[in-house]
Structure 1
Amino acid sequence: MAEREKILEVRDLNISFKTDSGIVNAIRGVNLDLYKGETIAIVGESGSGKSVTTKAIMGIMAGNGSIDGGSINYTWTDENTGERITKDICQLSEKEMQSEIRGRKIAMVFQDPMTSLNPTMTIGNQIMEPMIHHYNTPKEEAYKKAVELLQLVGITNAEKRMKNYPHQLSGGMRQRIVIAIALSCDPYVLICDEPTTALDVTIQAKILELIQDIQKKKDLSVIYITHDLGVVAKVADYVNVMYAGKIVETGTIDEIFYDPRHPYTWGLLSSMPDLDTDDDELYTIPGTPPNLAHEVKGDAFAPRNKYALNIDLRIEPPMFKVPGSTTHKVASWLMHEKAPKVEMPVELKNRLEKMKKEGVE
């Protein structure tokens, strides 16, 4: 098996925001790894810190935010010398981010294409602009590549569409345009922030297939941010489950879907809609996430966790390795060798077994 090439390494990332109600510790010691050609998903409820983490990677944080500690090491191979270069994004200036990283090496697709597109510029000019800005690409060459990108993202009559404005296109078409713009400078990493939320289900599936197809063709590394576990099941190699600014469980797609160990992950999987269920009501995780403007003592999930131990209220759990796996880790005191044995809910166990059978068939 070929050695995996690490492209992005986030270590002990801490981010806070100054607000009227005090300082909010939005990201609390996040660790992430992304390898070449692979897809990781970051999942969790709204406000868990998914988008903040990836915006820090892009260097586009809000003005009241600050990185208080940690590193975001991005590694690439120099096209001219072939040597491996690593830079800590946290230490780069805005000018360096703009000229070296953002758009060129790491690009992002946001959930609402209308906020990403300029309503006063033609589609063609918006795709050509990054190439001209970053690489001084001659206009004719940029035009030709823009047409090719439109064809790559599945848009017919590409030459005609170059002259269109965003309002003349459907939501699915606009999202394809946003993907084309993100790919215009041949980035190594593509971050997709809920890229299908604003689209209907049939278009959603097409956009996901499109991103996967382009990923294979260009050997891209992809980070998906989503709260939709159905999307995760289709696209991810590895999953990071986030809660209250921390990653509480990480593992391969099969480990997270078929052998989840954190009660929060159990809750997320239980709340997935299921057409075959006998229940009249959709499961929801009780309670609400903690207010991160206040100090979190112990395990942030403890007040919502019916399996919480006494220690959860006092001491934050470390990341425990799941026995027999090199990739599966869980931040829960239930993983401690002296903790009482707790099984996942029977309904969830039955559902996951059924999913596993359907996946094999």
Structure 2
Amino acid sequence: MTKKKKILKIRDLDISFKTDNGEVKAVRGVDLDLHEGETIAIVGESGSGKSVTTKAVMGILASNGVINKGSIEFTYTDLSKERIAEVTQKYDGVIPEGYAKEEEIKTVDITQQSKKFIQSEIRGRRIAMVFQDPMTSLDPTMTIGKQVMEAMLFHYKIPKKEAYARAVQLLELVGITDAEKRMKNYPHQLSGGMRQRIVIAIALSCDPEILICDEPTTALDVTIQAKILELIKDIQKKKNLSVIYITHDLGVVAKVADFVNVMYAGRIIEKGSVNEIFYGPRHPYTWGLLASLPDVDTAGDELYTIPGTPPNLLKEIKGDAFAPRNPFALKIDEKIAPPMFEITPTHHVASWLAAPNAPKVEMPQDLKARIEKNRKEANW
């Protein structure tokens, strides 16, 4: 099995926001890897730092946001206009593995680039984002066609006729029927599901290498949700896209992700393959997230909830941020933040319970029974 190319490498990323009340430490030492054609999910409660991390990748942090330290290395294929035309024509937009020449592969640290470089070379062109509410992404005063064509005209300077034909193809790719007619429509004339498809078409308009999906199905009903997730998976296979999902919905994660990163209070506290996280979780916070999922066999009238509230990131956090809510916390948790312990080469957890000399603590029996049942059903 050939090793996939790593296209995004985040190391020790630390981001804070200056506010009237003080400095909010939103992201605290995040490490993240994304390989070609892979899907990773970042999960956690609101305010855990999921969206802030990916906005830093896109270079769209709020004006009061500061990257204190760390790097975001992005490896991409930098083709000349002539090579873009050659490759697009030859492969009908589906670019095969190994098509690039060595000198066309570049690596940049996004944290060190100017806003102008990020806008012209990275955002929208090589890394694109789909937000949760399509109405905040679409301009109500512009036709759908103009909005889909806009990025192509800006980044590639191609003739309008060519951009128009490509936009129609994109609308068809994302499952919009009667695409030519829809080009003349305005956002308010379309349903929520269709608007989200349009946003995906816009994100794909410049053939990005990474697609970031920030809660892409939250505002949609369940049946449309499933169709949008299937659509993104289908396009990913066709175009060999690398995808990052930001979500709090573990049901979505189970359907789409290869690898999962669990975030809490600005840190990644557990990461592993989707099977390792769902069938062999090691962090008490991950146990709580999984236990709070509804299940047909759940006994009682109430779902499990994690006690307490997330910490105030305006205040300095000593030790493990989850310790005050953790019924299994050790004394060391109050003083020193746990490092990442390796469970397997792909599974790591930031919990002192994973230390070699730590007392053995089992996950709650109800959760253990549920995971065992799910594991048997999945034959894992």
2:97 corresponds to which residue? none
- Per the alignment, in what secondary structure is the counterpart of residue 192 of structure 1? strand
1:305 maps to which of 326, 330, 337: 326
CA distance in 2 between partners of 1:355 and 1:118 (Å): 44
1:342 and 2:354 aligned: no
2:201 corresponds to which residue? 180
1:266 corresponds to which residue? 287
In structure 1, give the amino acid aligned to 2:18: K
TM-score when scaled to structure 2?
Answer: 0.93
CA distance in 2 between partners of 1:74 and 1:299 (Å): 30
CA distance in 1 between partners of 2:337 and 2:42 (Å): 21
CA distance in 1 between partners of 2:176 and 2:378 (Å): 32
Deviation at 1:137, TM superposition (A): 1.3
- Alpha carbon RMSD of aligned pairs, Å? 0.9
- Per the alignment, in what secondary structure is the counterpart of residue 34 of structure 1? strand
1:27 corresponds to which residue? 27
1:332 and 2:351 aligned: yes
1:132 corresponds to which residue? 153
1:66-215 correspondence to structure 2 within 5 Å = 66-79=66-79, 81-83=101-103, 84-215=105-236
CA distance in 2 between partners of 1:343 and 1:254 (Å): 18
For structure 2, the 5+ residue unaligned runs are 81-100
For structure 1, the 5+ residue unaligned runs are none
1:42 and 2:42 aligned: yes
1:222 corresponds to which residue? 243
CA distance in 1 between partners of 2:372 and 2:58 (Å): 38
Identical amino acids, percent of aligned pairs: 74
TM-score when scaled to structure 1?
Answer: 0.98
2:378 corresponds to which residue? 359
- Per the alignment, in what secondary structure is the counterpart of residue 45 of structure 1? coil
1:291 maps to which of 302, 312, 315: 312
2:62 corresponds to which residue? 62
CA distance in 1 between partners of 2:377 and 2:152 (Å): 45
CA distance in 1 between partners of 2:195 and 2:77 (Å): 32
In structure 2, give the amino acid aligned to 1:68: N
CA distance in 2 between partners of 1:354 and 1:279 (Å): 18
CA distance in 2 between partners of 1:270 and 1:165 (Å): 43
Deviation at 1:358, TM superposition (A): 2.3
- Per the alignment, in what secondary structure is the counterpart of residue 181 of structure 1? helix
CA distance in 2 between partners of 1:47 and 1:321 (Å): 26
- Per the alignment, in what secondary structure is the counterpart of residue 351 of structure 1? helix
Q: Would you say how many aligned residue pairs link Structure 1 and Structure 2?
A: 359
- Per the alignment, in what secondary structure is the counterpart of residue 71 of structure 1? strand
Deviation at 1:40, TM superposition (A): 0.3
CA distance in 2 between partners of 1:142 and 1:291 (Å): 48
CA distance in 2 between partners of 1:19 and 1:88 (Å): 27
CA distance in 2 between partners of 1:152 and 1:354 (Å): 38
- Per the alignment, in what secondary structure is the counterpart of residue 334 of structure 1? helix
CA distance in 2 between partners of 1:187 and 1:22 (Å): 37
Cα offsets for 1:284-312 (capped at 9, x unmatched): 10000000100000000000000000000
Deviation at 1:3, TM superposition (A): 1.4
CA distance in 1 between partners of 2:374 and 2:156 (Å): 47
Deviation at 1:280, TM superposition (A): 1.1
2:13 corresponds to which residue? 13
CA distance in 2 between partners of 1:350 and 1:58 (Å): 41
In structure 2, give the amino acid aligned to 1:127: V
CA distance in 1 between partners of 2:300 and 2:260 (Å): 27
In structure 1, give the amino acid aligned to 2:21: S
In structure 2, give the amino acid aligned to 1:166: P
CA distance in 1 between partners of 2:145 and 2:33 (Å): 35
CA distance in 2 between partners of 1:148 and 1:354 (Å): 44
CA distance in 2 between partners of 1:87 and 1:151 (Å): 34
CA distance in 2 between partners of 1:345 and 1:304 (Å): 15
In structure 1, give the amino acid aligned to 2:212: I
Deviation at 1:356, TM superposition (A): 1.7
CA distance in 2 between partners of 1:129 and 1:222 (Å): 23
- Per the alignment, in what secondary structure is the counterpart of residue 275 of structure 2? helix
In structure 2, give the amino acid aligned to 1:338: N
CA distance in 1 between partners of 2:168 and 2:365 (Å): 53
Deviation at 1:357, TM superposition (A): 2.2
